[in-house]
């Protein structure tokens, strides 16, 4: 019997695109098809680094912008041993945000180049598929008001959306843009089928690196 590793599937998008809902639905659907699957979300606010990030996002503390960028990256790196272990065990991982959010959100701040923002995440396990949940800022606004966290400001989110467009030019990444303006079910059907196709191919290949 040939060994099959788990695959690394990432969902990205601006706030309110439905990432968390779709991550949960995807894991459920993969499990119903008899596959092993688990969710990971970034930032992981449960670790010590995650608590610093959480306090910053809740505006309970202020951190210098380069510093917070490196903390978000460190928060991904600290989970790498776990990610590698799960993939080796054949567990498919569905990840709610990854390094692409890191680059999009920090490079939306003045004075940060895409290139500088990418560096700390170089060498992270490379996703086999990154689905970008595309939603216009206008439609996103109709889904309700932002909360009180840092970054939850319309003008900033529009810049983040533009940065994601630039980031998607990176052809070394297996991007798939998903129209997230449709119903939860329609979006889910697309995500599920793209994920199944990716699993069929990628489970036989080695894990890459960003």
Residue 43 near which of Na ion, ligand DGP, none (CB within 5-8 Å, type-dependent)? ligand DGP
The least distance separating ligand DGP from the CB of residue 127, rounded to whole angstroms, comes to 14
Rounded to whole angstroms, the Cα distance separating 92 from 103 reads 24
Residue 13 near ligand DGP by CB under 6 A: no
How many residues of this chain interact with Na ion, rule: CB under 5 A?
Answer: 3
Residue 16 near ligand DGP by CB under 6 A: no
Q: Other CB atoms closer than 10 Å to residue 27's CB: what's the count?
A: 20
From candidates 72, 118, 135, 140, binder to ligand DGP by CB under 6 A: 72
Residue 37 near ligand DGP by CB under 6 A: no
Residue 164 near ligand DGP by CB under 6 A: no
Residue 20 near Na ion by CB under 5 A: yes
Using CB under 6 A, list all residues that contact ligand DGP.
Answer: 15, 42-43, 57, 69, 72, 97, 101-102, 105-106, 151
């Amino acid at each position: 019997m040939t060994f099959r590793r788990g695959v690394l599937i990432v969902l990205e998008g601006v706030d309110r695109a439905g990432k968390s809902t779709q991550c949960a639905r995807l894991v459920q659907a993969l499990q119903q098809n008899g596959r092993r699957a688990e969710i990971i979300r970034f930032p992981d606010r449960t670790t010590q680094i995650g608590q610093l990030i959480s306090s910053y996002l809740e505006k309970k503390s202020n951190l210098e912008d380069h510093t917070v960028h490196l903390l978000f990256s460190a928060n991904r790196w600290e989970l790498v041993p776990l990610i590698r272990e799960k993939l080796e065990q054949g567990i498919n991982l569905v990840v709610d945000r990854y390094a692409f959010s890191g680059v999009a959100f920090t490079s939306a701040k003045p004075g940060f180049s895409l290139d500088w923002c990418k560096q700390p995440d170089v060498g992270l396990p490379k996703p086999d598929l990154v689905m970008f949940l595309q939603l216009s800022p206008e439609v996103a606004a109709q889904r309700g008001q932002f909360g009180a966290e840092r970054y939850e400001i319309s003008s900033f989110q529009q810049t983040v959306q533009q940065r994601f467009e630039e980031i998607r030019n990176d052809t070394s990444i297996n991007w798939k843009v998903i129209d997230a303006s449709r119903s939860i079910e329609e979006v889910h059907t697309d995500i599920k089928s793209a994920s199944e196709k990716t699993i069929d191919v990628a489970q036989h290949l080695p894990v890459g690196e960003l």
